[in-house]
Amino acid sequence: MKIGVVGPGAVGSYYGAKLWRDGHEVHFLLRSDYEVVRRRGVKIKSVEGDFHANPRAARTPEEIGVCDLVLIALKTTANDQFPKLLPPLVGPKTAVMTLQNGLGNEEVLAKLFPAEQILGGLCFVCLNRIEPGVIEHIAHGKVVMGEFAGWPEPRTHDIGWIFKHSGIPCAVADNLACAHWEKLVWNIPFNGLGVGSCAGLEAFEKLREPMAPLLRVGPCLTTDKLLADPNWERWVRGLMMEVIAAANAKGLNVDQALANEQIEKTRIMSAYKPSTLIDYERGQELELESVFLEPLRQAQAVGVKAPRLKRLCEVLKALSQV
């Protein structure tokens, strides 16, 4: 396949490199890392074995042209760039798959392209971009993909097979919305509390009181430290149960046992920094809308008050303005 990767940071580079290694024609649409990737390619330092990839590097979508598959790994804060970046890559038979976090990304794409061309891919993977053109893969790597417009088409199963053949664990979901909420069970507490923890527990514990002016009072906590402290672990579990309650109120049937499952999988990640924490430490805009605010709105719309998620959103908004 001819595959275009838009936004090849940690996620896009890792999966794009695996597809390239399996013989596909993979193009990376790059900005800051263009010169490095053009000259040296991409190095994957992985628990499963290191390898090197040489995808084709491009600065503009016009250099790439129409693809069979477009993988979108941009931060959701850059979704306003879709009309500029995507049309040169997409023809009438192109499959467009967003690998982005949170809710609402497929809906944005559906304003540009027919709904039947749009897929969502949820990446359950632990990795970081440690320098330009170098990705550290720490654990996991499964992708769950599904159709935006309905039940999986044969095309979706074909793409799933291509991912599996490239060494990427993959499953095709009957219900993409359910898969989104299952991923939020992990993303909301660990991404959110990773940043919010620097405001201290007091900012969270007084749920019924208005937010006081918020200052950073301590370090941001990695996943291992959140789970090592009983108070923070209680917040992790509480947020997970609110997310599950919201999903089930929407009729999505998410098993409550998923909370324990996700926590146990996280323990093996050791001192992992989720992407929102990395963005915060770099002074970059946080993905508040898609990962936190929209899930809260949807929870409240189906009668789930979600007080912990509400307070988390308040803390994150306050910290992002400091």
Between CA 281 and CA 304 the distance in angstroms is 32
Each residue of 143-179: b (16+ CB within 10 Å) or e? bbbbbbeeebeeebeebbebbeebebebebbebbbbb
* 202 Cα distance to chain centroid: 28
Q: From CA 309, how far away is CA 292, in angstroms rounded?
A: 8
Beta bridge partners of residue 95, listed in sequence order? 69
Any catalytic annotation for residue 183?
A: yes
CA 218 from chain centre, in angstroms, equals 26
Instruction: Give the integer Cα–Cα distance in Å for 75 and 9.
Output: 9
Catalytic residue among 18, 43, 75, 183: 183
Question: Would you state the structure tokens that stand for residue 233, as one six-digit string?
Answer: 């672990």
| Residues in CB range of 174: below 8 A, 6 or more apart | 146, 151, 152
Active site residues: 183
